[in-house]
A and B are shown apart, each in its own frame.
Chain A
Amino acid sequence: MATRGAEGAESYDSASQRHAARHESFLRYRGLFWAKLASVVALLAVVSYLLVDVEPRHNGGSWYGYALGTIGALLILWLTLLGVRKRAMTPGRWSLKAWTSAHVYLGISLIFIATLHTGFQLGWNVHTLAWALMLLVILSGLFGITVYGFLPRYLSDNRDETTEEQMLATVGELDRQLREAAQPLDTRHAAIVQRALDEEVAWASVRRRLFGTRFLGTSADSLAEIRRETLLLRAPDPHLDRVEALLARKVAALQRIRSHMRVRALLEAWLYVHVPMTFATIAALSAHIVSVFFYW
């Protein structure tokens, strides 16, 4: 294209900085660098497991088992540190995207490292508990990556340039207008509107929060009732028509904010398994390590 007086300056001096600033997701970060590294680690673990001859059979107590166990335990602690890294905004040439990328792929490689560490000697004990909890953490993490893959788009589409605050304000504003519009109505109709006004934005039941539809809720019921009433009228009632229009808008506004909260909840829900289970894993892991050394 046309000549420039000053070419775009190269202000990022290191390769990692360039990657951090690049438009690529954490999964594809640096040309799948961490995916490749994690694959090599997992592959090495599998190959060495097959090549190393431990007598009488592979177990956590051999030198090889200890090596894998130490790597696995340190890896778990390091993976946990993502929670600190995310919140500690220290200066420096790090990027959380790089950390997330490494967290995801090295976390997956842990399946191989830890499972091979067990030597497939599983049972009903604290050792297997630590392994199982760890798998639970990893599986919840995989679920997290999956929802991160497609839910953000829904969030963006549903939002349609409005913010959560604006969505809430819209509902409040419609309530105010509904209250005003309901003034000229008779008691029976006013009671229908009142039921819609009494409805909370957030549903109390978690099940409804995650799986409710737009046809649920007292506002939707009130709208249906008012619609029935207007159909029965001989002459159109402008007051009822206005209330009907407002109710329809409220139902739509509720639908939007509830969808918004639902998608956000789904994006976060897995963390309520992932994080507590991480601490449970660390607790079980500590018990595992202490007991192993105690009974040496």
Chain B
Amino acid sequence: MSETYRIAIVGSGPAGLSAASRAAQLGLAHVLLEKADHLSDTIYKYQKGKHVMATPSQLVLRSDLDFAAGKREKVLGTWDEQTGGNKVNVRLNSEVVSIEGEQGAFRIALKDGATIETETIVLAIGTQGNPNLVRCPVGEGAVVQYTLDDPQEYVDEHITVIGAGDAGIENALGLAADPEQRNMVTIINRSADFATAKAANVQALTAAQDAGRMIILTETTASAIEAGEIVFDTRDGEARARCDRVIARMGSAPPRAFVEACGVEFSGPDRTAFPRLSPTFESSKPGIYVIGALAGYPLIKHCMNQGHDVVEFIKGNTALKPADEPILEGKFKGLPGRLSVAEWLEALRSSVTILEPMTPLQMREFMLDSEAHFYRAGATIFDRNEPGDSLFAIARGSVLVQVDPDDPAKTVPIETGSIFGEVGLISGRRRGATVIACEDAICVEIPRMAALKLQSQVPPAKAEITRISIERQLLQMFGSGLSREDVAPIVETAEIVPVKAGDTIIEEGQEGYDIFVIRVGSMVVEKTIGRKPVFLSYLPAGTYVGEMAVLEGGRRTATVRAAVKSEVIRIDGAAFKALLEKNPALLARAHREMETRQDLNDYVEAKKDSFSGAVDMYSSIASFLVEGGIGEATDVLLIDENLCVGCDNCEKACADSHDGLSRLDREAGRTYAHLHVPTSCRHCEHPHCMADCPPNAIHRGVDGEVFIDETCIGCGNCQRNCPYGVIRMEKKPPRKPPLLSWLLFGFGPGPGEPSHDWIDKRVSPDTPKVAVKCDMCAGIEGGPACVRACPTGAAIRVAPEQFLSVARLEEGTI
């Protein structure tokens, strides 16, 4: 290999393919290296017939390859054909082992021993990484594979699945699902439990074992794999079994180590960090460019556009404007002043403290996710109690926070460059105060996901947001009349402590002098009465606890533990006491609040003899709900099974209010003392479903509801991430005939969700499945249909802090 290429492209996914096609079109000497024996391995591994979506729809595709939403086979077929047509120099089976050298003279070592010489390198290897390989010796003729495309391909085989994470379990279940295939499936797990798998998967697995369809070996590893046989190393010694095929699903090593070994720096130590890049996608190592998912762009269209652009940049076409330029132009259109996109980006970046450390490329990406707003003096930016979890940054002008809900004249200013709205961002709860523009102002609204990304990419931004949020939370909680200077000593001593679900922060009877402010998650307060823990109260984020010991002295009077994974701010009790002593009004208020708590303690103490049954009941129901994850809910559907006659009108109403698909399963779910928590979205404070949504289609709406918008690409990530199993992947059915024609003439399937057969007959098989979940009937007059349609009053929707209050015990309504 004496030829030196101008560009070597590593990885033939959408980004790499598009880059190689551009290079071929421009006539640059190039090579496309792909480790697999086919192009686009990630999409190749999608299940057969999977619908590939093309979002964001407003983004123009700029590539020499075509791409439109369609079936996996069609998308791959088009690319294969056009890659050939564009005369791309592809080298398959070429796994890159190392990259050495400098710009103009890189040497890429391949696994097969060959070396490629190139002037520049484009890394488009995605984030999938390489699967971890089996470590035991593999004999000649033994079949070991790291993926499973179609479980129905295998018949009459003895198959061992190594690795009991979700991927392994799903494969094993798939292979054993159909008894007609007569597969003998064994799954082995190194540890005794299935810590990394979802509970539903583990349940299905043990059910399959009970049914005799699967063998589960725990605390077992494979020590040798031979043709037709596998040797296990079990707790009780060595064991041999017949084995025709091994499927190893032991996770994958992220490509970061490899990328760093090439000399590319990442923006931070976080697992979510991306390489640091210039506006032309060049990494910190000159001559190495990074594009695609590895650069932080998981969507196919973005990847393809970058592939096109990066080759243009390498060729020297620096005047090229990115394809997303029109989108950004649209975002800045409403702002006063005539600046270009680049100037606006620079203006925002330089005027907002937390945005300052960003690179122009990061800023660009950041603004694609965020919005810029212009507010006239006096305009309301958001209202108290409005749901919202976005962060605002002030780029020009200033705003006023109305700290006293009863007196709008009491305000605190926030100046240019600072942020507001961070409490909603951190706690996921409603806005704590109304904010209005003090003078004409330009603000950047940063949605939750973008804000989280910003914090992981730009550590100084994270530190600043944390500091401001602690300061504000204290100011807001302890009320007006305090200044930033007053709380400064407390902020200094404050420390953010993560608390695991179930861990205690305050132990009854212990000495302790600290105050805890609940920043994220929620806590329950319990008191031991007659050697039993009795539930006293539920503390949502934004409350504080522990002041009794500071005010009164003495030991802790109750135990406080985390209902869900939480974060608290620990404040030194002495600093807090000093603050109280300086502010008599605050001291008086703290005393009043403490008395309320004491009254509650006394009430429960008093009740324990006369009404111990009621207290017990309340306490155990509260514990049941907290265990069921209600601690992270903001609004949850409960069914009183003393009243539920099982008519399923709630499900029917849900389906009829939403495209014919029910978003709740009444019968499924946990029940305690006739209180049933059906399988239905509880609109978590920090929704798990939002965590990994490629098109960012999941949002929190104006009434606090978590909903999925129409840009859903049907990937199923949210369904997998939801610990409560409330998201379904379904095809949208056609409209049903109207109710009266069913009532009078029997046309159509009638009220409620039509049967799958009815839908399948009327929907084309190509229709993509999309994620469907409860949106709390947002935008429907009258509110949640499930509650409105319950004939007996069994279905109620509650916010946990309203439901879990002792007031209900006194009313006797539990």
Contact surface of A with B, Cβ cutoff 8 Å: 1-9, 11-12, 17, 20-26, 29, 84, 86-89, 91-97, 99-100, 148, 151-153, 155-157, 159-161, 163-165, 173, 176-177, 180, 264, 267
- Known interface pairs A5-B432, A25-B793, A97-B791. Does A267 touch B542 (Cβ–Cβ under 8 Å)? no
Q: Once the chains are docked, how many angstroms separate the CA of A89 from the CA of B750?
A: 12
Query: Is there an interface contact between B645 and A86, defined as CB atoms closer than 8 Å?
Result: no
Query: Is there an interface contact between A91 and B781, defined as CB atoms closer than 8 Å?
Result: yes
Query: Is there an interface contact between B644 and A163, defined as CB atoms closer than 8 Å?
Result: no
Question: Which one of A5, A9, A23, A157 contacts B813 once the chains associate, using CB atoms below 8 Å?
Answer: A23
B784-814 contacts to A (CB < 8 Å): 785, 787-794, 796-799, 801-802, 805, 813
9 closest A-B pairs by CB: A156-B641, A5-B542, A2-B543, A5-B432, A89-B656, A163-B667, A9-B385, A91-B781, A6-B430
Question: Which one of A21, A87, A89, A160 contacts B785 once the chains associate, using CB atoms below 8 Å?
Answer: A89
Tell me which residues across on chain B come within 8 A of A267, comparing CB atoms: 645-646
**B593 contacts partner chain A, Cβ-Cβ < 8 Å:** yes
Tell me which residues across on chain A come within 8 A of B743, comparing CB atoms: 84, 87
Tell me which residues across on chain A come within 8 A of B674, comparing CB atoms: 153, 156-157
List 6 A-B pairs, Cβ < 8 Å.
A6-B542, A23-B813, A97-B792, A148-B643, A153-B674, A161-B671
- Known interface pairs A1-B539, A180-B212. Does A155 touch B646 (Cβ–Cβ under 8 Å)? yes
Whose C-beta in chain B lies nearest to the C-beta of A17?
B783
- Known interface pairs A24-B793, A89-B657, A92-B781. Does A5 touch B476 (Cβ–Cβ under 8 Å)? yes
**B116 contacts partner chain A, Cβ-Cβ < 8 Å:** no
Interface contacts (Cβ under 8 Å), in number, total: 156
Tell me which residues across on chain A come within 8 A of B29, comparing CB atoms: none
B745-782 contacts to A (CB < 8 Å): 750-751, 780-782
Whose C-beta in chain A lies nearest to the C-beta of B807?
A1
Tell me which residues across on chain A come within 8 A of B473, comparing CB atoms: 5
- Per the CB 8 Å criterion, the residue count for chain B at the interface is 70
Q: Once the chains are docked, how many angstroms separate the CA of A99 from the CA of B789?
A: 10
Q: Once the chains are docked, how many angstroms separate the CA of A87 from the CA of B739?
A: 8
Contact surface of B with A, Cβ cutoff 8 Å: 211-212, 384-385, 423, 427, 429-432, 473, 476-477, 537, 539-540, 542-545, 593, 596-597, 600, 640-646, 649, 652-653, 656-657, 665, 667-671, 674, 676, 703, 739, 743, 750-751, 780-783, 785, 787-794, 796-799, 801-802, 805, 813
- Known interface pairs A1-B539, A25-B643, A29-B793. Does A94 touch B799 (Cβ–Cβ under 8 Å)? no
Looking at the assembled complex, report how far the CB atom of B748 sits from the nearest CB atom of chain A, in whole angstroms.
Answer: 12
13 additional A-B pairs beyond A2-B593, A152-B641, beta carbons within 8 Å, are: A1-B539, A1-B543, A2-B539, A5-B432, A8-B802, A29-B793, A91-B780, A93-B781, A94-B782, A96-B790, A152-B643, A159-B667, A180-B212
Whose C-beta in chain A lies nearest to the C-beta of B650?
A96
Tell me which residues across on chain B come within 8 A of A160, comparing CB atoms: 671
Question: Which one of B385, B477, B797, B799 contacts A3 once the chains associate, using CB atoms below 8 Å?
Answer: B477
Q: Once the chains are docked, how many angstroms separate the CA of A94 from the CA of B646?
A: 21
Query: Is there an interface contact between B782 and A93, defined as CB atoms closer than 8 Å?
Result: yes
- Known interface pairs A1-B537, A1-B805. Does A153 touch B642 (Cβ–Cβ under 8 Å)? yes
Q: Once the chains are docked, how many angstroms separate the CA of A155 from the CA of B668?
A: 14
Query: Is there an interface contact between A87 and B751, defined as CB atoms closer than 8 Å?
Result: yes
- Known interface pairs A21-B796, A25-B792, A163-B667. Does A92 touch B782 (Cβ–Cβ under 8 Å)? yes
Query: Is there an interface contact between B642 and A86, defined as CB atoms closer than 8 Å?
Result: no
Tell me which residues across on chain A come within 8 A of B476, comparing CB atoms: 5
Tell me which residues across on chain B come within 8 A of A164, comparing CB atoms: 667
Whose C-beta in chain B lies nearest to the C-beta of A181?
B212
Tell me which residues across on chain B come within 8 A of A89, comparing CB atoms: 652-653, 656-657, 751, 785, 789
Whose C-beta in chain B lies nearest to the C-beta of A9?
B385
Q: Once the chains are docked, how many angstroms separate the CA of A264 from the CA of B667?
A: 13
Query: Is there an interface contact between A6 and B789, defined as CB atoms closer than 8 Å?
Result: no
Tell me which residues across on chain B come within 8 A of A92, comparing CB atoms: 781-782
Question: Which one of B211, B423, B653, B796 contacts A22 once the chains associate, using CB atoms below 8 Å?
Answer: B796
Q: Once the chains are docked, how many angstroms separate the CA of A100 from the CA of B646?
A: 16
Whose C-beta in chain B lies nearest to the C-beta of A144?
B645
Whose C-beta in chain A lies nearest to the C-beta of B431?
A6
- Known interface pairs A152-B642, A152-B643. Does A21 touch B797 (Cβ–Cβ under 8 Å)? yes
Query: Is there an interface contact between B600 and A1, defined as CB atoms closer than 8 Å?
Result: yes
Tell me which residues across on chain B come within 8 A of A21, comparing CB atoms: 783, 787, 796-797
Question: Which one of B430, B791, B796 contacts A96 once the chains associate, using CB atoms below 8 Å?
Answer: B791
**A2, A84, A91, A173: residue with the most chain B Cβ atoms closer than 10 Å:** A2
Q: Once the chains are docked, how many angstroms separate the CA of A97 from the CA of B650?
A: 12
Query: Is there an interface contact between A6 and B791, defined as CB atoms closer than 8 Å?
Result: no
Looking at the assembled complex, report how far the CB atom of B471 sits from the nearest CB atom of chain A, in whole angstroms.
Answer: 14
Tell me which residues across on chain B come within 8 A of A95, comparing CB atoms: 787-788, 790
Q: Once the chains are docked, how many angstroms separate the CA of A160 from the CA of B669?
A: 10
Q: Once the chains are docked, how many angstroms separate the CA of A97 from the CA of B793?
A: 6
Looking at the assembled complex, report how far the CB atom of A21 sits from the nearest CB atom of chain B, in whole angstroms.
Answer: 6
Looking at the assembled complex, report how far the CB atom of B82 sits from the nearest CB atom of chain A, in whole angstroms.
Answer: 47
Q: Once the chains are docked, how many angstroms separate the CA of A70 from the CA of B93?
A: 87
Query: Is there an interface contact between B211 and A176, defined as CB atoms closer than 8 Å?
Result: yes
Tell me which residues across on chain B come within 8 A of A22, comparing CB atoms: 796
Q: Once the chains are docked, how many angstroms separate the CA of A87 from the CA of B751?
A: 6
Q: Once the chains are docked, how many angstroms separate the CA of A267 from the CA of B785?
A: 23
